[in-house]
């Protein structure tokens, strides 16, 4: 009887924990609607959540890296570089642009292979990568400018039925992440690499190849994030997404991913990305002075994580 209770308590706690990203998002949305009822419309929601689309993909990139037990400090600069390619090469020489993006993804994969092969700390390798990406972006686009291809701009302004584009994209991203990382055998291997690499090696998998694949997938998500971003912004700059690195880490952790590797939640991460973006606009609604806006963003992060710790404590986890 008592074991049953403990089990029930734990599953309730786990469910609550899993729901926390969504609850935070819901709470924030409710607060925005309360302050500004006009936001509760097709147009209002589109405006509020638009910026979250590229952030969601950047967060998925970070989730893949977190899944293999690493940390990517180059997400922001990579997305910026993709955006500059999108605003310079892609419209003028589409073929060259696509090749460049493929090469970048390849470099990401190589970095992953290097991390595994030489047993290097991912933090430092991605730190080095971030310099490389930024350097390339500055070489391509020394001053802000460029022009995104017309089809990308048009795609980002599509009027989707029922709900605005950001909501559909968020749902699709969450579902895709779920299929790819949580359900597929590939995703299981990736998470296994973060959770217990030795077991995978015993089972005959090449860890170098696996980590390279994971990094390539992260690069792929980063490419999508950069293209969507430049489609929205219509022009680019070498630092356009520099804050994405920290935002993507925060969103992924907010969404229930863990640093220890192997434990990630793609759907939660998308909710985390929406929450982080919404937190910024919410503060404008509240007339929080700009000086304190980033501070309140930090406070929201602390609050949600504090709640998570509270749930753990009630469950009696040490």
Partner 1 sequence: MSAIAPLANLRIWRHRAARAPWLGSTLAALAAFVITIANGQIQGVAGLLAAALSFSALTVLVALGQMLVISTGPGNADLSIPSTIALSSAVSMLVMNGSDAMVLPGLLAATGVGAAVGLSNFGLIRLLRIPPIIATLANSLMVMSVAISFGRGLKIKPPPIFIELVTLRIGGIPLLAMLALVVSLLVWLVVERTAFGRSLCALGQNARAAEFSGVRTVRTSLLAYVICAGLAGLTGALIAGFAGGNSLDQGDEYLLLTIAVVVIGGTSVSGGRPCVPGIWGAALFMFLLVAMLNAAGASAGLRMLLTGAIIISVIALAGAGSDRS
CB nearer partner 1, residue 167 or residue 214: 214
First to last CA, the chain: 23
CB nearer partner 1, residue 9 or residue 310: 310
* Residue 46: CB minimum distance to partner 1, A: 27
CB nearer partner 1, residue 41 or residue 260: 260
Q: Is 221 helix (H, G, I), strand (E, B) or coil?
A: helix
Under DSSP, the state recorded for 180 is I
Binding residues for partner 1 restricted to 27-86, rule: CB under 8 A: 71, 73
Residue 14 interacts with partner 1 (CB under 8 A)? no
Q: Which two tokens stand for residue 173?
A: 């991203």
Among the listed residues 42, 43, 175, 292, the single contact to partner 1 using CB under 8 A = 292
The Cα 239–Cα 77 span in angstroms is 7
* Residue 254: CB minimum distance to partner 1, A: 9
Window 247-266: contact mask with partner 1 (x via CB under 8 A): --xx--x----xxx------
The Cα 184–Cα 213 span in angstroms is 14
- The region of 1-9, 178-186, 209-217, 243-251 touching partner 1 under the rule CB under 8 A is 243-251
Window 118-147: contact mask with partner 1 (x via CB under 8 A): xxxx-xxx-xxxxxxxxxxxxxx-x-----
In degrees, rounded to 5, the angle at the alpha carbon of residue 166 between the alpha carbons of residues 42 and 233 is: 105
* Residue 215: CB minimum distance to partner 1, A: 13
Nearby residues of 217 by Cβ (< 8 Å), 6 or more positions away = 64, 180, 190
CB nearer partner 1, residue 130 or residue 275: 130
Q: How many residues bind partner 1 (CB under 8 A)?
A: 48
Please classify residue 7 by burial: count the beta carbons closer than 10 Å to its beta carbon, then call 0-12 exposed, 13-18 middle and 19+ buried: exposed
CB nearer partner 1, residue 117 or residue 175: 117
The Cα 28–Cα 299 span in angstroms is 13
CB nearer partner 1, residue 7 or residue 309: 309
Instruction: Give the residue among 86, 20, 69 at the shortest CA–CA distance from 267.
Output: 20
Judged by phi (left if over 0) then psi (alpha if -120 to 50, else beta), residue 276 lies in alpha
Residues that bind partner 1 (CB under 8 A): 71, 73, 111, 114, 118-121, 123-125, 127-140, 142, 246, 249-250, 253, 258-260, 291-299, 301-302, 305-306, 309, 312
């Amino acid at each position: 009887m008592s074991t049953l209770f403990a089990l029930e308590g734990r599953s309730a706690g786990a469910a609550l924990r899993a729901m926390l990203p969504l609850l935070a998002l819901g709470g924030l949305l409710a607060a925005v609607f309360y302050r500004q009822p006009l936001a509760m419309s097709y147009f209002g929601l589109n405006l509020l959540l638009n910026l979250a689309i590229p952030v969601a993909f950047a967060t998925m990139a970070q989730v893949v890296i977190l899944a293999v037990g690493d940390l990517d400090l180059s997400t922001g600069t990579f997305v910026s570089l993709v955006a500059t390619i999108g605003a310079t090469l892609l419209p003028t020489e589409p073929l060259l642009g696509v090749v460049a993006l493929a090469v970048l993804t390849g470099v990401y994969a190589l970095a992953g292979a290097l991390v595994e092969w030489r047993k290097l700390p991912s933090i430092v390798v991605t730190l080095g990568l971030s310099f490389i990406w930024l350097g390339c972006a500055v070489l391509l686009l020394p001053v802000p400018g460029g022009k995104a291809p017309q089809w990308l701009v048009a795609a980002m302004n599509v009027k989707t039925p029922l709900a605005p584009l950001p909501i559909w994209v968020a749902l699709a991203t969450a579902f895709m992440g779920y299929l790819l990382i949580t359900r597929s055998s590939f995703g299981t291997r990736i998470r296994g690499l973060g959770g217990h690499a030795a077991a995978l090696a015993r089972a005959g998998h090449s860890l170098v190849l696996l980590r390279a694949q994971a990094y390539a997938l992260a690069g792929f998500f980063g490419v999508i994030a950069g293209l969507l971003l430049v489609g929205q912004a219509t022009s680019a700059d070498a630092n356009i997404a520099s804050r994405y690195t920290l935002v993507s880490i925060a969103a992924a952790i907010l969404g229930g991913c863990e640093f220890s590797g192997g434990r990630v939640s793609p759907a939660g991460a998308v909710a985390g990305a929406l929450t982080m973006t919404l937190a910024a606009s919410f503060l404008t609604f509240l007339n929080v002075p700009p000086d304190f806006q980033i501070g309140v963003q930090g406070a929201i992060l602390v609050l949600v994580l504090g709640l998570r710790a509270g749930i753990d404590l009630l469950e009696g986890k040490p």
